[in-house]
Structure 1
């Protein structure tokens, strides 16, 4: 297909642009983006609960969590504000190189009462010697100025929510390397300097993780920079046509295999909206990884578009991704 035809069909635009609306409010054939809400609250998620490792016993040494609130000094995404949190494991020795877990949509993973409870899981796994001593960085998507807060879970489509959702899509759904450069050039140097943390330089000791749009963002980071991050944990990844993510299965099949290990998770009740079917998209992605000879695992259950299933298998997924690495 030549460029002229590609553009004539409107394939160069995100759904909603031709309607002059945010993708959140766009509709076609009597269907709309916000039908995703039924998948976020799917009955198929009821069997899933946080993994046992998310509840450490009282004798387990606890790491510490530090916060950078309203950070707004990004050179890659200027004029945005975001929160960043950092988990530092217990008993770190001066100069010790730590493995790294990077979580996009970080607050969802860090929430101590949420479906994942990442800090508690890390406390348990590190204390048991199941994984190496690991620091974690939890990065939220940026809020474009002048909006300093937005409730993405509300059903009110105010200007703040629309601007925040659009910014999140730009950062996470885009297939370019901009978000990866944001992490490598802005976030990791900031965290290292602010909290005196030395990250392992081995890509096999660096996991990048995310949900939905941030799930595909995790894969995109490793795809562009496999010598920096070689482990991917993708929960309900958006390998659909939000900003071209549906092309990844083809790219995986036709590009020389990259040295990355991938853990995919989705479910039968995952989202099925105007941009595509998440269950089918993740199955296509898994089939492509298999075809190309990747080291991958595909966890497909009954759940919807949430972290419920991902949280239930979170400890197992970290063990699988870190396997072969010396604690």
Structure 2
């Protein structure tokens, strides 16, 4: 199907750009909000000593006996909060009401918190930036069973996706890469591949390993951190990851925008990112 895109002017300055949200990122008349259930995980095999909160979102009309697709969201409440930049719960409600997604539950997982001498200490970067299978295994073997106690979910990895931004974008692609048996779809917004310990592993791995059954959407900002530097260039690392996916024949999409390391553009893109990510299933 051919599409004609409306004209949008190109900003001359890239330094201070804010994108306006579309109608799917706001509550709509006639769309009933879904239900949100919160639960805690106070012990973890993969991340000993951590505790965290998880929110399970089910759209209105959700059938608990019907197997659902699953969409994990890193940085849990921050992605779910209707007053913040991503507003994923509102987006899921609107897309579900329009029947533009398969029946889906959103699983919003906060990063872990450690008690260090009585002081709550975030474990976010240790979980999200590491290139190993611990975070994916945590989602699949410690979080997902708690979801399955509440509703039926699909066992097909192509019916499970993950979304995250910045270090959460690292965690999203790493989770699917290390556990393609459990997660098959990825949205990585402004991923901070440049700060992964040991450097960004993905361009080399994508080029050298057999193609995995993954569908990936990457988002990058032209003025992300160190955008014009030879080292630690966050924009360039996203472009190089995208180029490797293209050369390897992956089912992927790259979206670039102006501005810096901000969640605004990723939040604006989320409705269409989800539409594209799940387009052949809905």
Do they fold alike, i.e. is TM over 0.5? yes
Matches within 5 A, 1:111-260: 111-146=81-116, 163-164=121-122, 167-193=123-149, 196-260=150-214
In the TM superposition, what is the alpha-carbon distance from 1:44 to its structure 2 partner? Answer: 3.3
CA distance in 2, matches of 1:107, 1:277: 29
Matches within 5 A, 1:54-73: 54-69=25-40, 71-73=41-43
Residue of structure 2 in register with 1:300 after alignment: 256
CA distance in 1, matches of 2:134, 2:267: 28
Structure 1: segments with no counterpart, 5+ residues: 1-41, 149-158
Name the SS of the counterpart of 1:137 in structure 2.
Answer: strand
CA distance in 2, matches of 1:245, 1:119: 33
Name the SS of the counterpart of 1:75 in structure 2.
Answer: coil
CA distance in 1, matches of 2:70, 2:259: 28
254 and 44 in structure 1: CA distance in 2 versus 1, 3 angstrom threshold: farther
* Corresponding residue to 2:68 among 98, 102, 108: 98
In the TM superposition, what is the alpha-carbon distance from 1:88 to its structure 2 partner? Answer: 1.1
In the TM superposition, what is the alpha-carbon distance from 1:302 to its structure 2 partner? Answer: 0.2
Name the SS of the counterpart of 2:193 in structure 1.
Answer: coil
What is the TM-score when the length of structure 2 is the normalising length? 0.89
279 and 147 in structure 1: CA distance in 2 versus 1, 3 angstrom threshold: farther
- Higher-Rg structure is 1
CA distance in 2, matches of 1:68, 1:95: 20
CA distance in 2, matches of 1:295, 1:203: 15
CA distance in 2, matches of 1:244, 1:132: 38
What is the TM-score when the length of structure 1 is the normalising length? 0.77
In the TM superposition, what is the alpha-carbon distance from 1:179 to its structure 2 partner? Answer: 0.9
Name the SS of the counterpart of 1:246 in structure 2.
Answer: coil
Given that 1:82 and 1:143 are in contact with CA atoms closer than 8 Å, whether structure 2 keeps it comes out as yes
Q: Over aligned residue pairs, what C-alpha RMSD do you find?
A: 1.9
CA distance in 2, matches of 1:49, 1:115: 11
Name the SS of the counterpart of 1:240 in structure 2.
Answer: helix
Matches within 5 A, 1:255-294: 255-272=209-226, 276-294=232-250
In the TM superposition, what is the alpha-carbon distance from 1:213 to its structure 2 partner? Answer: 1.0
Given that 2:169 and 2:188 are in contact with CA atoms closer than 8 Å, whether structure 1 keeps it comes out as yes
